[in-house]
């Protein structure tokens, strides 16, 4: 079956597939784009299956959130079954736990899975040995959630059994401090996980890829979240590559964890400064070249881009006119290919401002000009500025203190900083409209 020694192999760890679920907040106006987005989570799962086949994985672990919502779509269930059947046909076992997005008791199972698939129940931790070439190379244990929200610390139910090979725990849980914004289902600590003396914790729940601990030998576990396999929104945690982890094992010891991108559509946030952009077509060219970079970085994948216009420039006033941004977005969309790999312009947000001519403000004789006069004095009297800044060191939040102290030590930067501060203050005073 394989050319390598029995004690050297890999397994694939994935989670949070959210199969066949809609993209959140993305309005794909073009039907081709809508179709590609609709297929993305399913296609990403197919990529994970291909990854396992291509790497000759010994087994696969999928740590929950297979579907989304107790209503399991038929398309999602059939695609999941087909993928696991492809793995089974190659002799690759798959281990699955379900959780609150696909609880065992409220969902329904319209499909039956091959014998090589283990779906762990919710009553007790199931323990299953993995045998390859007549040798027990691993033991996988896992437990599903019985209900929508499990607040029990399920990690405490795991323990290392007797047996050769690598010991893997499969669980959907929230490890304290692993990532903000995730609900506290089956909360546990790293110490709780270590107590079970396993070698690898294949976790699910946090949508960013994270290796929380690197094991130092048998009984001291690696702890990892593979992240979601396909991003579904433009939220910061969903940007960038998504996929699965390939876990390397030698002689019963995990030797490394390799993230592999399996996503089909990738989200990018672009920032486009318009400080020196004079005309709309120039802005458009700039946006298009930023999108082309995002597309090139995606390695053949389609991208969904959110652009934010920043900085200050003459174009700000044009863009502020009602309908301008919508027209720009429409035009960008009409100019891009809708065949994969495509770039879909999700939105263009204007956070830019009009240029501020300090000379005009100085001539005003109002509070703004007084403020600027103070800044002008500080800019040419570094000593006065330094003592003013020193007085501030104690009053700034602790997190910023080191930064302020560094500035106080380097008076050469004062003129530039004072001007930046004055511009900021003017912005605040004028509400962005000088």
Residues that bind Mn ion (CB under 5 A): 16, 65
> For residues 13 and 423, which CB has a smaller minimum distance to Mn ion in the complex?
13
Minimum CB distance to Mn ion, residue 48 (Å): 15
Distances (CA, A) of 351 to 44, 190, 269, 279, 369: 34, 41, 14, 17, 25
**Token pair of 137 as six digits:** 């190379």
- Alpha carbon distance 249, 376 (integer Å): 65
Minimum CB distance to Mn ion, residue 428 (Å): 40
Minimum CB distance to Mn ion, residue 119 (Å): 17
- Alpha carbon distance 271, 267 (integer Å): 13
> For residues 16 and 238, which CB has a smaller minimum distance to Mn ion in the complex?
16
CA 42 to mean position of chain CA atoms: 18
> For residues 146 and 386, which CB has a smaller minimum distance to Mn ion in the complex?
146
Minimum CB distance to Mn ion, residue 76 (Å): 14
Minimum CB distance to Mn ion, residue 212 (Å): 17
Distances (CA, A) of 105 to 78, 147, 247, 301, 314: 19, 7, 31, 37, 60
Residues whose CB falls within 8 Å of the CB of residue 290, separated by 6 or more in sequence, listed in order: 270, 272, 305, 307
User: Which candidate, 83, 130, 115, 89, places its Cα nearest to that of 247?
Assistant: 130
> For residues 229 and 368, which CB has a smaller minimum distance to Mn ion in the complex?
229
> For residues 23 and 342, which CB has a smaller minimum distance to Mn ion in the complex?
23
Q: Give the total residue count for the chain.
A: 434
> For residues 183 and 276, which CB has a smaller minimum distance to Mn ion in the complex?
183
> For residues 259 and 432, which CB has a smaller minimum distance to Mn ion in the complex?
259
> For residues 65 and 238, which CB has a smaller minimum distance to Mn ion in the complex?
65
Minimum CB distance to Mn ion, residue 21 (Å): 10
> For residues 16 and 306, which CB has a smaller minimum distance to Mn ion in the complex?
16
Minimum CB distance to Mn ion, residue 207 (Å): 6
Q: Which residue has the tokens 């779906």?
A: 119
Minimum CB distance to Mn ion, residue 18 (Å): 6
The burial class, CB within 10 Å (0-12 / 13-18 / 19+), for 42 is: buried
- Alpha carbon distance 19, 317 (integer Å): 44
- Alpha carbon distance 211, 205 (integer Å): 13
End-to-end CA distance of the chain: 73
Minimum CB distance to Mn ion, residue 68 (Å): 8
Q: Which residue has the tokens 């014998």?
A: 115
> For residues 16 and 39, which CB has a smaller minimum distance to Mn ion in the complex?
16
Residues whose CB falls within 8 Å of the CB of residue 302, separated by 6 or more in sequence, listed in order: 33, 36, 264, 265, 266, 295, 340, 341, 342, 343, 344
> For residues 233 and 430, which CB has a smaller minimum distance to Mn ion in the complex?
233
User: Which candidate, 12, 139, 169, 166, places its Cα nearest to that of 86?
Assistant: 12
Minimum CB distance to Mn ion, residue 226 (Å): 11
Minimum CB distance to Mn ion, residue 7 (Å): 34
Three-state secondary structure readout of 161-178: CCCCCEEEEEEECEECCC
Residue 22: DSSP 8-state: P
> Are 238 and 207 a contacting pair, CB within 8 Å?
yes
- Alpha carbon distance 225, 208 (integer Å): 7
């Amino acid at each position: 079956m394989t050319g390598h020694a029995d004690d050297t192999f890999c397994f694939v760890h994935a989670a949070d597939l959210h199969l066949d679920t809609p993209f959140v907040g993305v309005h794909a106006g073009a039907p081709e784009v809508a179709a590609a987005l609709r297929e993305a989570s399913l296609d990403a799962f197919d990529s994970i299956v291909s990854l396992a086949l291509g790497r000759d994985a010994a087994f696969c672990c999928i740590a929950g959130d297979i579907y989304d919502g107790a209503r399991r779509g038929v398309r999602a269930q059939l695609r999941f079954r087909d993928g696991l059947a492809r793995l089974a046909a190659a002799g690759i076992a798959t281990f699955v736990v379900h959780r609150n997005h696909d609880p065992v008791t409220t969902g329904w199972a319209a499909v039956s899975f091959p014998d090589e698939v283990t779906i762990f129940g919710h009553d007790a931790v199931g323990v299953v040995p993995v045998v390859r070439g007549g040798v027990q190379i691993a033991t996988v244990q896992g437990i599903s959630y019985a209900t929508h929200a499990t607040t029990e610390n399920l990690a405490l139910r795991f323990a290392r059994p007797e047996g050769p090979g690598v010991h893997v725990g499969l669980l959907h849980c929230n490890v304290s401090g692993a990532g903000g914004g995730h609900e506290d289902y089956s909360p546990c600590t790293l110490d709780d996980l270590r107590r079970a003396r396993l070698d690898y914790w294949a976790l699910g729940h946090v949508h960013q890829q994270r290796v929380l601990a690197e094991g130092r030998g048998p009984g001291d576990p690696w702890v990892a979240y593979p992240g979601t396999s396909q991003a579904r929104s433009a939220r910061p945690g969903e940007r960038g590559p998504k996929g699965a982890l390939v876990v390397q094992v030698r002689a019963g010891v995990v030797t490394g964890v390799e993230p592999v991108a399996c996503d089909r559509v990738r989200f990018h946030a672009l920032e486009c400064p318009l400080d020196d952009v004079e005309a709309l077509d120039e802005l458009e060219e700039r946006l298009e070249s930023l999108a082309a970079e995002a597309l090139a970085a995606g390695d053949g994948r389609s991208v969904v881009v959110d652009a934010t216009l920043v900085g200050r420039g003459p174009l700000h006033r044009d863009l502020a006119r009602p309908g301008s941004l919508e027209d720009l977005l429409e035009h960008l969309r009409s100019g891009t290919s809708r065949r994969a790999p495509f770039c879909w312009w999700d939105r263009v947000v204007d956070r830019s401002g009009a240029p501020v001519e300090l000379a005009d403000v100085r001539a005003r004789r109002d509070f703004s000009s007084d403020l600027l006069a103070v800044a002008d004095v500080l800019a040419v009297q570094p000593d006065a500025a330094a003592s003013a800044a020193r007085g501030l060191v104690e009053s700034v939040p602790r997190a910023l203190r080191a930064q302020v102290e560094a500035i106080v030590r380097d008076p050469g930067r004062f003129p530039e900083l004072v001007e930046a501060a004055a511009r900021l203050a003017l912005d605040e005073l004028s509400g962005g409209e000088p």
